[in-house]
Structure 1
Amino acid sequence: MEQRLANCVQLTVNEKQFIENALLSELRVDGRGPLEYRKLSIKFGKDDGSAEVQLGETRVMSFVSAQLVQPYKDRPNEGTLSIFTEFSPMADPSFEPGRPGESAVELGRIIDRGLRESRAIDTESLCILSAKLVWAIRIDIHILDNAGNLVDAANIAALASLLTFRRPECSLGGEDGQQVVVHPPEVREPLPLILHHLPVAVTFGFFSNENLVVLDPTYHEEAVMTGRMTATLNANGDVCAIQKPGEQGIFQHIIMHCLKLAHVKAGDITAKIKDAVEKHNNERALQKIKRRSSSVSVDVCGTTARLGGKQNQSGGGKDNSHLDQLKPKDEANFMECDATSSGQVQINKKDEGSKNFTGGPSSWYGKKDPYSECVNSDLLKAPMDSEC
């Protein structure tokens, strides 16, 4: 079989027989069942339209960008969509740098067919000026680590990046109303893309035995299987596209059974993508909120504040401490500190009969220092006694 979308790993005869015999017992090398998916993780970058998906050990990164171009003559009111893939040798030694190979082209076509044929993206909303300017959406897919089933991982990464992408808002101006003005994000909030549904790709692997069918094949299983089928469906069960490379024939009832399984898996993956995107949007919204400091500044020269409130009673278990409203005070009054046993400090007005504090060392002679009232003498004696 022509090894498409797979690695060129060479397994021994014993390794191949071990994988097939384990599948006959409904077991897989990584411990999963034949129809179980690997753990899916979706992360987003700082820039809008960037996403990284990890499916098991397979890692794929996707980035969406847009630019204003002239539309096609046969579709003057619709934007365009293009997908580019990059297979780095760091992801798999069998990948060659430079011009995209056959596997990279086929990967891009599978994802493009699922999005384009199902009309998932509203291309008419990308039109700015009919027959003159439309938005061209570009999806760049980078393979970071190949551990099997690149199609599903790349498809999920493309969908996640499309949901988080924001394009600049445009308006028409000028004397003739044909001048396009692109507003930066600081002036106007960028607009998201309109997606009618999410076409999710689900890949099945077939082996020489007709009864052996696995979901989400791994790196080693791709080297053993003799055929594959990728079914692209949405959460409603609509079939968007089907791709079947390989020479092995498949019975009709097996295909229908795979489509039913793909419908269930597509619904689960769609829910995970939406949950991850919603969480990401909430985090972005919180970062844009400008928060003010909750601290209250107090002018001790012109106002009097009561800090700490009432002390806890011996019989009560609740803390009744609060901050009273600030009240103006006369210049003749000053704040007196009373040290409490619980460590709280209360600031109260001095009694009316007390004299005003004028300041200066000469006024302290023969009088009690007003600042010494805030100091607990027992606490000062404690360290002196311990040293002796």
Structure 2
Amino acid sequence: ATPTVDPSRPSPPETLLARLLDKTLRRSAALDTESLCLLAGKTVWAIRCDLHILSHGGGLLDACCVAALAGLLHFRRPEVGVEGEKVTVYSAEERAPVPLSLLHLPFCVTFSVFGVRGGEEEVVLLDADRAEEGVREGAVTVGVNRHGEVCQIAKLGGREVDALELLRCVGVAEGRAKVLDELVRRRVGEEEKRRDGGTGKVLSAENAR
């Protein structure tokens, strides 16, 4: 893992990152929580998403959001059977695991704000690297899905951003979300085909015995 991130002692920026991810993913109802219920009021699936940061060259929040969504989209939970009050959890050999029910994929898109010409104007940069983030005067993060539904806008201190500039950021973020959505779904789909092919070979070998 990158030496700048210590999971045992989260720094204020890391705590803020976790909160923004929670706001973007959980509070936007990206995951259908009702689908996790097994017995009403008694038993549910608990879903936890851990992120391990291997390197940090900038755009950490956006990268973590993409990683979390790809992980949730790729994950398969065991199939279950419910008869009355009895819950049966089937192994992968008995029944194929099933995907989580994701209602939409909200992506974080972060813009860095810089002042120019004596502070009278501003430059807004998308996808800044770590060095650029170190000298920026503010940041705006937009959480949005491919349908243009804005889940959150985070502007925490720093340089003021004009309302029209903020609207432009939202428009750019919408386009970015469409690109990221297509990319994540395509790559996860490719991995699913590879994984399902491997699972099929294992099951065929078991049946041959």
Residues 84-107 of structure 1 show CA distances to partners (whole Å, capped at 9, x for unaligned) of xxxxxx5144x4452322122111
Per the alignment, residue 184 of structure 1 pairs with 91
Determine if the alignment matches structure 1 residue 284 to structure 2 residue 191.
no
The secondary structure found in structure 2 opposite 1:212 is strand
**Which residue pairs with 2:163 in the alignment?**
252
For residues 175 and 21 of structure 2, what CA distance do their matches in structure 1 show? 19
TM-score (norm 1): 0.49
Greater CA deviation, 224-233 or 278-287? 278-287
Cα pair distance change 1:193/1:287, threshold 3 Å: same
Q: CA deviation at 1:172?
A: 2.5
Measured after TM superposition, the shift of residue 253 of structure 1 is 0.4
SS at match of 1:117: coil
Q: Distance in 2 between matches of 1:166 and 1:123?
A: 15
Higher relative contact order, chain-length normalized (CA < 8 Å, sep 6+): 2
Aligned pair count reads: 199
Measure, in 2, the Cα distance between the counterparts of 1:197 and 1:240. Answer: 11
- What's 2:207 paired with? none
CA contact (8 A) 2:114 2:137 kept: yes
Partner of 2:137: 226
Match of 2:153 in 1: 242
Q: Distance in 2 between matches of 1:286 and 1:197?
A: 27
CA distance in 2, matches of 1:171, 1:220: 52
Closer, same or farther in 2 for the Cα pair 1:231/1:180, shift >3 Å? same
Contact 2:139 2:158 in 1 (8 A): no
What CA distance in whole angstroms lies between the structure 2 residues aligned with 1:246 and 1:219? 19
Are residue 143 (structure 1) and residue 53 (structure 2) matched? yes
The question of whether the paired residues in 2 share the 8 Å contact of 1:229 and 1:242 is answered with yes
Pick from 22, 27, 48: which aligns with 1:112? 22
Q: Classify the secondary structure of the residue corresponding to 2:110.
A: strand
Tell me the TM-score normalised to structure 2 length.
Answer: 0.90
How far apart, in 2, do the equivalents of 1:273 and 1:203 lie?
A: 18
Looking at secondary structure, tell me which structure has more helix per residue: 2
**CA distance in 2: counterparts of 1:157 and 1:185, whole angstroms:** 25
> What is the CA–CA distance in structure 1 between the aligned matches of 2:156 and 2:182, rounded to whole Å?
28
CA distance in 2, matches of 1:194, 1:268: 21
Choose the corresponding residue for 1:98, options 2, 5, 8: 8
CA contact (8 A) 2:110 2:142 kept: yes
1:147-158 equivalences in 2 (<5 Å): 147-158=57-68
After superposition, the C-alpha distances for 1:206-249 in whole angstroms (9 at most, x for unaligned) are 01233311001101001100100110110011101111123211
Q: SS where residue 187 of structure 1 aligns?
A: coil
Secondary structure at the aligned position of 1:105 is classed as: helix
If you compute each CA radius of gyration, which structure gives the higher value, 1 or 2?
1
Tell me the equivalent position of 1:207.
Answer: 114
State the percentage of identical aligned residues: 40
Unaligned runs of 5+ in 2: 205-209
Distance in structure 1 (CA, Å) of the matches to 2:113 and 2:152: 19
Give the SS at the match of 1:288.
helix
The 1:266/1:225 distance shift into structure 2, 3 A limit, reads same
Match of 1:335 in 2: none
User: How far is 1:269 from its partner?
Assistant: 0.8
What amino acid is the match of 1:152?
D
User: 1:253-289: per-residue Cα shift (whole Å, max 9, x none)?
Assistant: 0000100110111101111001101111111122233
